[in-house]
Amino acid sequence: MIRTYKFKLYKSKRLKCLHELVNLSAEIYNHCIALHKRHYKFYGKSLNLYRLQKHITRLKKLPKYAHWNNLGSQAIQSITERIDEGYKKFFRHENKRPPTFKKKRKYKSFTLKGFVGYKLNNNILTINKRNYKLWLSKKIEGKIKTLTVKRDSLGDFWVLATALVGNVKPANRATSGKSVGVDFGLKTFLTLGGRHLTLTGKEREIESPLYFLNSIGEIRKLSRALSKKKKGSNNRRKARFDLARLHRKIAFQRDDFFHKTANMLAFEYEYVFIEDLNLNGMQRLWGRKVSDISYGGFVNILSYKTNVVKIDRFYPSSKECYDCGYVYRELSLKERVWICPNCGNAHKRDNNAADNIHRVGTSTLAGGIVRPTMPANAVDSRIPCL
Ligand SMILES: [Zn+2]
């Protein structure tokens, strides 16, 4: 299993050197994009990764490009690989646009691989013989695979280290064999399901913290202030920082909520069943709020802490009556409570869905085939049953 660690670097004047390295990455990145474009124009086909890398090796020997050597060759290699991947995805129609030029200010990071080009000794990170102190909030376990130095929109620096760790889950994880079904919603972030649960009413629900929506007034105010400032002025820079600071704060709050909620679930349940969410479809249906909530980020955190089992996303969890199996196709999104036309039982929409997810989840876990999964590409644009 791969784990990502994130540490903040202490502020210091020396960070200027890291700024320079990120800017240099942007320069190299843009140079490669230009090469790609030119190659395509002349030959009508994509520039091969190895040819590009060879070309860069030659460039680095020229006096004009000697400063490129400040950035480790690993970092340059990962830039070329990332661009290559971007083009491949574009040609496979997975991305709408090919990689494009990026402004220096908007360029964020460079990545080093393995143990080359840096040293990490406890809380001291050494790059190009300069030491940077980092806020080591956690001990890194396992071997480091990649190390990314990232600057955020406030000019602060972070180190993201990915490490290969054994298949260990945190110590406070449940081993009870207990399981739960989870239905995601908007106002209610999640509803817990499974008829074995002894939770009642509100205990089954975790409300959404719509930080973003609550802060939207403030965001609007700051964006308006930013747009009024003269371009290139110091005041504009300050206004941009104010806005970035607010965005960062909201992101931290959301992360905190995710970790607490995930810990709570992992503490109690060994298996969590969820629907394999089609986020694009959900976003089209629900609008911006879905991306504010970022279910994907939550599921990611949760799967570090406990076993997440995804069930077929086209299983009609909300529309099927838990008691008799009747599928009530006409159920609309507005109906929060419905009565089964077949058996007459009343259902709260989210509770019924979560109960169904739990039942399907347990049979998935037992090895039973619930229903054939359709090939993903054929149904990508469909909206999931909610
Ligand atoms: Zn029924």
Report the percent of the chain where pLDDT is more than 90.
47
Residue 345 has pLDDT above 50, yes or no: yes
Residue 291 φ then ψ, to 5°: -70, -25
CA of 327 from ligand 1 middle (Å) equals 8
Q: Is residue 212 over pLDDT 80?
A: no
Q: Measured between alpha carbons, how far is 359 from 323 in angstroms, rounded to an integer?
A: 11
Q: How far is the CA of 357 from the centre of ligand 1 (A)?
A: 16
Distance 346 CA to ligand 1 centre (A): 8
Taking the centre of ligand 1 as the mean of its atom positions, its distance from the CA of residue 16, in whole angstroms, is 66
Please give the average per-residue pLDDT across 42-49, as a whole number. Answer: 90
pLDDT digits (tens, 9 = 90+) for 237-279: 999 999 999 888 888 888 889 999 999 999 999 999 998 876 6
Instruction: Output the CA torsion 61→62→68→72 (10° steps).
Output: 0
> pLDDT value at position 29?
96
Cα separation, 71 vs 336, whole angstroms: 57
* Dist CA 193 CA 340 (whole Å): 18
| Secondary structure class of 258 (helix, strand, coil) | helix
- pLDDT, position 317: 87
> Ligand 1 centroid vs 325 CA: distance in angstroms?
6
**Residue 180 to residue 360: CA distance in whole angstroms:** 11
82 is written with which tokens? 């990332």
Q: What distance in angstroms lies between residue 203's CA and the mean position of ligand 1's atoms?
A: 24
**Residue 153 confidence (pLDDT) above 80:** yes
The pLDDT tens digits for 158-209 are 999 998 877 655 556 667 788 999 998 877 889 999 888 888 778 899 987 7
Q: Report CA(333)–ligand 1 centroid distance (Å).
A: 19
Q: How far is the CA of 328 from the centre of ligand 1 (A)?
A: 9
Amino acid at site 302: L
Q: How far is the CA of 337 from the centre of ligand 1 (A)?
A: 13
Residue 183 CA, ligand 1 centroid: distance in Å = 19
- Cα dihedral 96, 101, 105, 111 sign: positive
Residue 288 has pLDDT above 90, yes or no: no
How far is the C-alpha of 147 from the C-alpha of 161, rounded, in Å?
5
Query: Which residue shows structure tokens 């574009």?
Result: 90
Angstrom CA distances, 47 to 54, 85, 97, 102, stand at: 12, 12, 16, 19
Do residues 15 and 128 make contact, with C-beta atoms less than 8 angstroms apart? no
Residue 264 CB contacts under 8 Å (≥ 6 apart), including other chains:
none
d(CA 241, CA 250): 14
300-332 core/surface letters (b: 16 or more CB in 10 A; e: else): ebbbbbbbbbebbbbbebbbbbbeeeeebeebe
Q: How far is the CA of 336 from the centre of ligand 1 (A)?
A: 16
Distance 347 CA to ligand 1 centre (A): 9
| Closest alpha carbon to 327 in 335, 317, 336 | 317
Helix 49-59 with 73-91: angle, nearest 10 deg? 150
- The per-residue pLDDT of the chain, averaged, comes to 85
Q: Looking up tokens 């037992």, which residue turns up? A: 366
The mean per-residue pLDDT over the stretch 321-337 comes to 89
**CATH, domain 179-209+245-376, list 1.10.3470, 2.60.120, 3.30.420, 3.30.70:** 3.30.420
Q: What is the mean pLDDT of residues 356-367?
A: 86
Strands 179-184 and 271-275: parallel
Please tell me whether the overall predicted TM-score, pTM, comes out greater than 0.75 for this model.
no
Residue ranges matching CATH 3.30.420 in the chain: 179-209+245-376
How far is the centre of ligand 1, averaged over its atoms, from the C-alpha of 335 (Å)? Answer: 16
**Which pLDDT score is estimated for 370?**
43
> How confident is the model at residue 381, as a pLDDT?
30
Whether residue 230 has pLDDT greater than 80: yes
